[in-house]
Amino acid sequence: MNGGFTMAPEVLFVPTMGALHAGHGDLIRAARKMADGLGERPAHVVVSIFINPTQFDEASDFDAYPATPENDLKLAEEAGADAVVFPSVSEMYPEGVPVSTERVDYGALTSSLEGGKRPGHFDGVVAVVRNLMAQVKPRWAFFGEKDWQQLAVIKRLVQLEFEGVEVVPVSTKREPDGLAMSSRNRRLSGSDRRGASALYSALKRVAESPDPPLKCAEATAALESLGFDVEYFSVAQGDSLESEWVSGKMRVFVAARWGGVRLIDNVACRQ
């Protein structure tokens, strides 16, 4: 109680599509740590689990997306969540799942890289995050840097539509061999799983080279010689996704299919 009034709890929000892994654990722990640091202010760490149909550009990817609700609950609780919500499709889309969602145009943020390769993907992400934010009303929302472009798109959405909400980025969690943790990795088996780490090695080689844009074609050819089907391997500014070189701002981004799975990753350029 504060002067006779009960303070409304602050909400620290971790939106996910489930199939939680240690990378999600880091997001939830970051939210827990911040909540615990708020002192007397009541705070709730809320995790949502909703496999959003409108952000999948391939029906087969949506069908294959793993659902592991019991494991998710356990992981979320152990990482410090106060509540885990599982919205239904009809709660998120009361008028039915739209065939296409409202077009979102944030320039290069939505048109480059993932935006170019997955038409409609960011339209679906923005639609669902907008809806979740409106319902959960967070003060802070946590997103992983593995989906860097998504993070940049959501920062723009929040800047435009959710005054007072802060987006908190959380570093990519990697396996010991460097592979970025992802719910889709569980579809990689045996030698495919081992071979997948070549993606991170290629990213690092390019990011640490004196001229990363020059090295992208070479890295693409090297990955393709191993059997990767590379969709893009490019350098862009981390905040705007524009491709002009600005020292200190650049990141290397890759998307490639390997072992039947589409993998994405990114790292900062050294300079």
Catalytic residues: 24
Of 15 and 80, the one with the shorter C-beta distance to ligand PAF is 15
**What are the residues whose beta carbons fall under 8 Å from the beta carbon of 138, sequence distance 6 or more?**
11, 12, 13, 46, 165
Residues binding ligand PAF: number (CB under 6 A): 10
Q: Which stretch binds ligand PAF (CB under 6 A): 11-19, 97-105, 228-236, 247-255?
A: 11-19
Closest distance between ligand PAF and the C-beta of residue 103, in Å?
Answer: 17
17 binds ligand PAF (CB under 6 A): yes
Q: Which stretch binds ligand PAF (CB under 6 A): 12-20, 67-75, 111-119, 133-141?
A: 12-20
- Name which of residues 98 to 157 contact ligand PAF (CB under 6 A): 125, 128-129, 147, 150
Contact between 125 and 141 under an 8 Å Cβ cutoff? The reply is no
Q: Which amino acid is at 241?
A: L
Per the listing, tokens 């296409």 go with 100
15 binds ligand PAF (CB under 6 A): yes
Q: Which stretch binds ligand PAF (CB under 6 A): 15-23, 72-80, 222-230, 247-255?
A: 15-23
Nearest to residue 74, comparing CAs of 21, 32, 33, 26? 21
- Name which of residues 40 to 69 contact ligand PAF (CB under 6 A): 52, 55
Strand partners, 234: 253
Contact between 145 and 151 under an 8 Å Cβ cutoff? The reply is yes
265 binds ligand PAF (CB under 6 A): no
Q: Which of 11, 12, 13, 16 binds ligand PAF (CB under 6 A)?
A: 16
26 binds ligand PAF (CB under 6 A): no
Of 27 and 269, the one with the shorter C-beta distance to ligand PAF is 27
170 binds ligand PAF (CB under 6 A): no
Closest distance between ligand PAF and the C-beta of residue 55, in Å?
Answer: 6
Site residues for ligand PAF per CB under 6 A: 15-17, 52, 55, 125, 128-129, 147, 150
